[in-house]
Amino acid sequence: MAAPATPATPGTHDTARPTIVLVGHGMVGQRFLEELAERGVTGRARVVVLCEEPRPAYDRVQLTSYFAGRTPDDLSLTAPDFMARHGIELHIGDPAEAIDRESRTVTARSGLTVRYDTLVLATGSYPFVPPVPGKDSAGCFVYRTIEDLLAIEDYARTAGSGVVVGGGLLGLEAAGALKGLGLRTHIVEFNPRLMALQVDEGGGSALRRTVEEMGLEVHTGVGGKEITADEDGAVTGMELSDGSRIATDLVIFSAGVRPRDQLARDCGLAVGERGGIVVDEQCRTSDPAVHAIGECALAADGRVYGLVAPGYDMARTAADAIAGKDSGFTGADLSTKLKLLGVDVASFGDAHGTTEGCLDVVYADSRSGVYKKLVIGADGTLLGGVLVGDAESYGMLRPLTGSVPPVAPEQLVLPAGAGAPAALGPSALPDDAVVCNCHNVTKGAIRSAVTEHECTTVPQVKKCTKAGTGCGSCVKALTTLVNDELAAGGVAVDTGLCGCFPHTRAELYEIVRTLRLTSYAELLESHGRPEARSGDGCEVCKPTVGSIIASLAPAVGADGYVLHGEQAALQDTNDHFLANLQRNGSYSIVPRIPGGEITPEKLIVIGEVARDFGLYTKITGGQRIDLFGARVDQLPVIWSRLVDAGFESGHAYGKALRTVKSCVGQTWCRYGVQDSVRMAIDLELRYRGLRSPHKLKSAVSGCARECAEARGKDFGVIATSNGWNLYVGGNGGADPRHADLLAQDLSDAELVRLIDRFLMFYIRTADRLERTSAWLERIEGGLDHVRDVVVHDSLGLCDELEALMAAHVAHYRDEWAETLADPDRLARFVSFVNAPGTPDPSVRFVPERDQMKPDPALLAGPTLPVRTLEGTSAR
Amino acid sequence: MTTATAASPAATTAAPSPLVEILGPEGWLAVCALGDLIPGRGVAALLPDGSQAAVFVDRGGRTYAIGNQDPFTGAQVLSRGLTGSAADRPFVASPLLKQRFDLETGECLDDPSASVPVYRVRMDGAADGGRDD
Ligand code: SRM
Ligand SMILES: Cc1cc2nc3c(=O)[nH]c(=O)nc-3n(C[C@H](O)[C@H](O)[C@H](O)COP(=O)(O)OP(=O)(O)OC[C@H]3O[C@@H](n4cnc5c(N)ncnc54)[C@H](O)[C@@H]3O)c2cc1C
Ligand code: SF4
Ligand code: FES
């Protein structure tokens, strides 16, 4: 937590330097400080900040992501050294209590009194709680601060159901959070529809249907009449205005916010009739020494803005005014795009069609919960719109607002592929179109970041322009623009997989998936680099494409068996022989032992097979047993013994799921809180055989002691008393990484669903030989993005990802059983094509510690590998 | 009970497939039928002097044979590598440490100091390797 950089001296005033006092360290307050620093004001002035909350500014917009595993630290907006670096005095947990404009002093709760030359109020809003009897009972909450969420989370542990009063933007968000906490959730909305402010009737009913399908109960057109409580004063239920009653243990009020203007009222500053500190275009209040910015201000256009982007604009305006620069805040766009309960909702411009003479263009598909409306002016200008269920086009439509779209409006609302022409991308936008609403960045500014400021990547452009660093809804458009600009400048980097394909692995995946290609040759002919089309491919792209086809097999209609037809030629040596090649040309055999659990009978079979074939045995680091030293011609006979005894391939040779390790868990261990062995077995059996860009490993621990080392795995599961915590992106090896928490306290079904989505999203977007850890660090947006996609379904992909996994699970067959049943395949397991019965004389062993090892005399011994091809390894 | 018998490759392929012969230290030797080869993969052949050859066919139907021993590890495994082409040169990548060997010259593309022997190949006693020359 940031401490004051220099101790504040109460009541004193440094006459050499002017003093700026900021009251309120919320989102807008922090932005104001950054703007001051940028203008060099922090160097010339003493800056004192009074912060009411127990922590410095954090990202309130992302508040709900706390429930998805983000910690308060993750949400922080303040770099740890920000205050110290700029010499700002931050007083945490010390709210301003009085302002004396006469003597120009502010007094805080601690008694600290500071004289100011300039005072800036950024006190935000408070949640409005309707005067319902019983509203102060235990179990009633509001939804505004991290402290509110901590209290809700705590109370929800013993609650079975919850009511959210208010079906607006925040109410839906709170309802989603309650649902996520496992509560039966009701939404009570006084208006006849949900999100009445943002969407129209059609949008409201599409939204309602989708929300109800998620299992939330929606009550519209009714209000809360009374909250009932038990003798201890804890909530038991809510009576509604129509006489009905909901039994509930918890209530969240989310019925709108009101500007926090009490301090201003008390010191006689002008406030609006319905609240809000009156300011002019420079964000000055009725006292020119006092500014007000953010949600507490009543802007010059007569509005109080409840969104962060206008607040940021005000922060900039006030900093300009203080630095002696002229700018102004005259109003802002109320466009929003949100992901509420997994439903995309967006509204922009004149969403309600209040402009005279305007017309609506509406597309509605109630089956899929999609509703899109555009408001078009009499002259064809796009005035605004509402998008529910599919807000993909928001990034492009919003900047077009105010201009005549280049294509007929109905084509802008039709779903892709339904007669709509090739989607009109951000490239069609004019240069002055605002692409990032949060930071007011135009397309022109993004282009010049590339052309003039020499940014060559999206992260660089983000840093340079701030575009995309707010709500994130513009990142897609931003990426397209940056890439277009780079391509136009001829800076295109060759991201191709190898000399044969100009595409990345992820692009090849999309090509195979969408064109349903099942043949490498066809892919090379149609999508290879021209110079490689007639060639033989290479050792990089062949296994990559083989793996993509295997991952997608059921979906594209390919055979999931990796040795089927042409696919056999694509596989790396290990996959081709379904075993791991060892240094002397022999193979190792690893049967699957799900969760590391094995019966004595099976152990005996492994022992007998090893003894009969003279194999070296070792317990692996993956909780199973490896049998080394088999000749290629012995593999089928050994496996027929193993398959008969009920073993399956352990895929130790493939870029595929390896093991799901387990600890003994609740069944035996005195600390265990869940059955980790059962879960590990279930997961291993579910994902076995799944081909992926790199190997996948997992583990399940029965309690936080973490004996299974789950956080060192691609997906690791740790039991809690409420369910399971899911961690992703861990690995061991040379550069170990602990997995990050993706979601917590999941039920069995929720856990499996999230893993399904996570794995399929990884398989879809990772590079070749890129483990989940490296992938998570590379992809745009990192863990947050992955969480948005797989937990909040921000890309609307989850159904498809789940369907792909379901198909994988349904089509799984054991590769070794399949191979043994096929004489053509078995014919390949010979040492010599011209002497099928002859064993390879070069595969010889010498004794070692009661077993055997490769005969060193026959081998040259590895010289240093000259080719540092990443991922030459099999495991 | 699942039975696994490693059937002879020749026994399972259709009859009219030309025979692949390679020129070993003791003259031409038929190693398999062309149909036994999978384009892009190899097989190993045991030569009369106990040495081993790795035999390949590419997507265009051309056949190649080089020594099977990987000079970097000493293991007889090159026949199990993946083939490809780079700048029109056909190659096989060792399955152990991935060095690539030119199938026509035996040179190691990643380390000029290493190479493997090359064997001439012909089909049913006809021209080398099914090539047009
Ligand atoms: C057999 C085994 C060692 C043992 O005797 O215990 C083993 C053997 C190999 N590991 Fe491993 N690893 C084995 C468990 C592990 C573990 C432990 C675990 O899974 O909990 C790890 C650390 C966890 C992890 O993967 O993050 C491990 C991390 C690696 C890595 C580093 C991965 C990374 O992301 O950094 C490699 C190199 C690679 O994959 O690129 C590797 C690669 C290999 C290779 C393929 C090395 C090579 O290039 O030859 C070895 C294969 C030998 C073979 O062909 O049979 N092995 N390896 C273990 C087999 C487990 C199994 O039952 O399938
Ligand atoms: C759950 C949630 C989701 C949201 N989602 C979005 C969204 O998707 N998009 C969007 O644009 N906006 C969203 N918002 C609104 C957005 O968070 C606000 O617009 C933004 O935080 C306003 O910033 P502010 O600095 O004006 O107020 P705040 O961030 O509320 O900060 C005001 C601070 O001042 C402090 N304070 C008050 N009085 C005093 C005093 N006397 N002394 C000292 N300190 C004081 C308060 O404790 C508070 O910390 C959301 C809000 C919530 C709660
Ligand atoms: S992780 Fe917990 S439950 Fe599992 S063995 Fe260790 S202490 Fe026991
Ligand atoms: S629009 Fe919110 S980050 Fe760009």
Say whether both A768 and A825 belong to one domain: no
Phi, psi torsion values for A444, nearest 5 degrees: -60, -40
Res. A635: pLDDT tops 50: yes
Gap from CA of A661 to ligand 3 centroid (Å): 12
Gap from CA of B120 to ligand 2 centroid (Å): 79
Binning pLDDT at 50, 70 and 90, where does residue A864 land?
very low
Residue B88 backbone class (left: φ over 0; alpha: ψ -120 to 50; beta: rest)? left
Gap from CA of A57 to ligand 2 centroid (Å): 9
Gap from CA of A67 to ligand 1 centroid (Å): 35
Q: Are A681 and A662 in contact (CB under 8 A)?
A: yes
Last residue of a domain, one of A255, A281, A307: A255
Q: Are A291 and A264 in contact (CB under 8 A)?
A: no
Q: Which long-range contacts (CB under 8 A, 24 or more apart) does A547-551 make?
A: A547/A655, A547/A691, A547/A692, A547/A693, A548/A505, A548/A508, A548/A509, A548/A512, A549/A512, A549/A517, A549/A518, A549/A520, A550/A691, A551/A509, A551/A690, A551/A691, A551/A692, A551/A763, A551/A808
Q: Which residue is closest in CA terms to ligand 1's atom 31? A: A733
Give the predicted TM-score (pTM) of the model: 0.53
Instruction: Give me the residues paired with residue A115 across strands.
Output: A105
> In a 10 Å sphere around its CB, with 0-12 CB exposed, 13-18 middle and 19+ buried, how is residue A802 labelled?
middle
pLDDT of residue B6: 40
Neighbouring C-alpha atoms within 13 Å toward the C-beta of A872 = 15
Residues touching ligand 1 (Cβ under 6 Å) are: A 580, 582, 588, 590, 618, 620-622, 624, 626, 652, 658-659, 697, 712, 731-734, 771, 871, 873-875
Q: Are A554 and A800 in contact (CB under 8 A)?
A: no
Mean pLDDT in residue range A605-615: 96
Q: Which residues contact A514 (CB under 8 A, 6 or more apart)?
A: none
CA dist A559 → A265, A546, A566, A812 (Å)? 74, 11, 11, 11
Mean pLDDT in residue range A663-674: 94
- What residues in B contact A542, CB-CB < 8 Å? 40, 82, 84
What is the number of helices (H) and of strands (E) in chain B?
Answer: 0, 10
pLDDT of residue A372: 87
- What residues in A contact B69, CB-CB < 8 Å? 842
Nearest CB to B44: which of A537, A831, A861? A831
Say whether both A585 and A511 belong to one domain: no
Give the minimum alpha-carbon distance from B31 to chain A in angstroms, rounded to a whole number: 5
Mean pLDDT in residue range A304-323: 92
Sheet holding A382-388, edge to edge: A336-340, A343-349, A382-388, A370-376, A359-365
d(C-alpha B98, C-alpha B78), whole Å? 10
d(C-alpha B43, C-alpha A408), whole Å? 62
Pocket test for ligand 3, best of A705, A717, A725 (most atoms within 8 A of CB): A705
pLDDT of residue A396: 76
Instruction: Give me the residues paired with residue A731 across strands.
Output: A737
d(C-alpha A659, C-alpha A684), whole Å? 7
Res. A422: pLDDT tops 50: no
Q: Are A608 and A860 in contact (CB under 8 A)?
A: no
Phi, psi torsion values for A699, nearest 5 degrees: -160, 155
In a domain, A410, yes or no: no
Say whether both A247 and A263 belong to one domain: no
Give the minimum alpha-carbon distance from B115 to chain A in angstroms, rounded to a whole number: 13
- Could you give the dihedral angle defined by the CA atoms of residues A608, A609, A615 and A619, in that order, rounded to the nearest 10 degrees? -80
Sheet holding A580-581, edge to edge: A580-581, A587-589, A625-630, A616-619
Give the mean pLDDT of chain A.
Answer: 88
Say whether both A804 and A673 belong to one domain: yes
Mutate to test the interface with B, among A497, A522, A524, A536 (most CBs of B within 10 A): A536
Residue A547: both structure tokens together = 């793996």
Say whether both A154 and A228 belong to one domain: yes
Any idea where the domains of chain B sit in the sequence?
16-121
Q: Provide, rounded to the nearest whole percent, the portion of chain A with pLDDT above 70.
A: 93
**Lowest mean pLDDT across A149-158, A370-379, A388-397, A701-710:** A388-397
Res. A151: pLDDT tops 90: yes
Containing H/E element for A348? strand A343-349
Give the minimum alpha-carbon distance from B102 to chain A in angstroms, rounded to a whole number: 13
Res. A658: pLDDT tops 70: yes
**Lowest mean pLDDT across A12-16, A65-69, A722-726, A805-809:** A12-16
Gap from CA of A339 to ligand 2 centroid (Å): 19
Asked if B2 lies within 8 A of A539 by C-beta distance, the reply is no
> Residue A706: nearest ligand to its CA?
3
Containing H/E element for A385? strand A382-388
Res. A54: pLDDT tops 90: yes
Res. A416: pLDDT tops 70: no
- Residue A411 identity (one-letter amino acid): Q
- What residues in A contact B88, CB-CB < 8 Å? 535
Say whether both A710 and A805 belong to one domain: yes
Residues touching ligand 4 (Cβ under 6 Å) are: A 436-438, 467-474
Give the minimum alpha-carbon distance from A578 to chain B in angstroms, rounded to a whole number: 12
pLDDT of residue A469: 76
Sheet holding A224-229, edge to edge: A224-229, A235-240, A245-247
Domain with A753 in it: 655-813
Give the minimum alpha-carbon distance from A530 to chain B in angstroms, rounded to a whole number: 12
Phi, psi torsion values for A548, nearest 5 degrees: -60, -45
Nearest CB to A640: which of B4, B52, B93? B4
Say whether both A649 and A665 belong to one domain: no
Q: Are A13 and A115 in contact (CB under 8 A)?
A: yes
Query: What's A86's DSSP letter?
Result: T
d(C-alpha A584, C-alpha B77), whole Å? 8
Give the mean pLDDT of chain B.
Answer: 82
Residue A358: both structure tokens together = 């305007």
Q: Are A93 and A51 in contact (CB under 8 A)?
A: yes
Binning pLDDT at 50, 70 and 90, where does residue A862 land?
very low
Tens-digit pLDDT profile for residues B43-66: 999 999 889 999 999 988 899 999
Tens-digit pLDDT profile for residues A369-394: 788 889 998 888 888 888 888 877 78
- Beta-strand ranges (E) seen in A451-582 are 580-581
The ipTM assigned to this model is: 0.66
CA nearest to B78 within chain A: A585
In a domain, A361, yes or no: no
Q: Which residues contact A632 (CB under 8 A, 6 or more apart)?
A: A577, A587, A829, A830, A831, A840
- What residues in B contact A500, CB-CB < 8 Å? 84
The CATH number covering residue A832 comes to: 3.90.480
Residues 816-855 of A with CB under 8 A from B: 817, 820-821, 823-824, 826-836, 838, 840-843
Gap from CA of A59 to ligand 2 centroid (Å): 9
Tens-digit pLDDT profile for residues A256-298: 899 999 999 999 999 999 999 999 999 999 999 999 999 999 9
Q: Are A717 and A726 in contact (CB under 8 A)?
A: yes
Tens-digit pLDDT profile for residues A450-495: 888 888 777 778 878 888 877 766 777 888 888 888 877 776 656 7
Asked if B6 lies within 8 A of A539 by C-beta distance, the reply is no
Nearest CB to A838: which of B41, B46, B97? B46
N-to-C CA span, chain B: 52
d(C-alpha A508, C-alpha A549), whole Å? 10
Tokens 């399971």 correspond to: A724
- What residues in A contact B55, CB-CB < 8 Å? 833
Number of domains chain A is built from: 5
d(C-alpha B131, C-alpha A752), whole Å? 55
Asked if A869 lies within 8 A of B40 by C-beta distance, the reply is no
Tokens 């045995």 correspond to: A617
pLDDT of residue A428: 75
Q: Which of A209-218, A417-426, A737-746, A859-868 has the highest mean pLDDT?
A: A737-746
pLDDT of residue A6: 45
Q: Which residues contact A114 (CB under 8 A, 6 or more apart)?
A: A8, A10, A11, A19, A21, A48, A105, A106, A108
- What residues in B contact A842, CB-CB < 8 Å? 52, 69, 75-76
Res. A748: pLDDT tops 80: yes
Q: Are A121 and A293 in contact (CB under 8 A)?
A: yes
Last residue of a domain, one of A772, A797, A813: A813
Say whether both A177 and A117 belong to one domain: no
Topology (CATH level 3) of domain B16-121: Rieske Iron-sulfur Protein (2.102.10)
Res. B102: pLDDT tops 50: yes
Residue A523: both structure tokens together = 């892919």
Say whether both A621 and A727 belong to one domain: no
> In a 10 Å sphere around its CB, with 0-12 CB exposed, 13-18 middle and 19+ buried, how is residue A866 labelled?
middle
Mean pLDDT in residue range A309-337: 86
Gap from CA of A106 to ligand 2 centroid (Å): 21
Gap from CA of A677 to ligand 3 centroid (Å): 11
Give the minimum alpha-carbon distance from B96 to chain A in angstroms, rounded to a whole number: 7
The CATH number covering residue A690 comes to: 3.30.413.10
Question: Does ligand 2 come within 6 angstroms of the Cβ of A313?
Answer: no
pLDDT of residue A641: 96
pLDDT of residue A326: 83
Res. B9: pLDDT tops 70: no
CA nearest to B111 within chain A: A866
pLDDT of residue A245: 94
Q: How many CB pairs below 8 Å do chains A and B form together?
A: 170
- Helix residue ranges, H only, A742-814: 748-765, 772-778, 782-790, 798-811
Binning pLDDT at 50, 70 and 90, where does residue A431 land?
confident
Q: Which residues contact A171 (CB under 8 A, 6 or more apart)?
A: A164, A165, A187, A189, A252, A254, A255
In a domain, A403, yes or no: no
- Residue A431 identity (one-letter amino acid): D
Question: Does ligand 2 come within 6 angstroms of the Cβ of A61?
Answer: yes
- What residues in A contact B108, CB-CB < 8 Å? 866
Residue predicted with more confidence, A416 or A567: A567
Question: Does ligand 2 come within 6 angstroms of the Cβ of A793?
Answer: no
Residue A862: both structure tokens together = 């590895």
Angle at A13 between CA A10 and CA A14, to 5 degrees: 125
Binning pLDDT at 50, 70 and 90, where does residue A531 land?
confident
In a domain, A87, yes or no: yes
In a domain, A481, yes or no: no
Residues 503-562 of A with CB under 8 A from B: 521, 532, 534-539, 542-543
Nearest CB to B44: which of A639, A833, A872? A833
Binning pLDDT at 50, 70 and 90, where does residue A5 land?
very low
A858 close to B (CB below 8 A): yes
Binning pLDDT at 50, 70 and 90, where does residue A207 land?
confident
How much is the CA Rg of chain A, to the nearest whole Å? 32
Gap from CA of A821 to ligand 1 centroid (Å): 30
Residue (of B112, B36, B113) closest to B79 by Cα position: B36
A87 close to B (CB below 8 A): no
Residue (of A205, A138, A133) closest to A167 by Cα position: A205
Last residue of a domain, one of A788, A813, A838: A813
The string of DSSP codes covering A839-862 is: --TT--EEEETTEEEE-GGG---P
Helix axes A520-527, A505-515, angle to 10 degrees: 110
Asked if B9 lies within 8 A of A827 by C-beta distance, the reply is yes
In a domain, A491, yes or no: no
Q: Are B59 and B67 in contact (CB under 8 A)?
A: no
Asked if A543 lies within 8 A of B82 by C-beta distance, the reply is yes
In a domain, A9, yes or no: no
CA nearest to B92 within chain A: A539
d(C-alpha A159, C-alpha A150), whole Å? 14
Q: Which residue is closest in CA terms to ligand 2's atom 44? A: A24
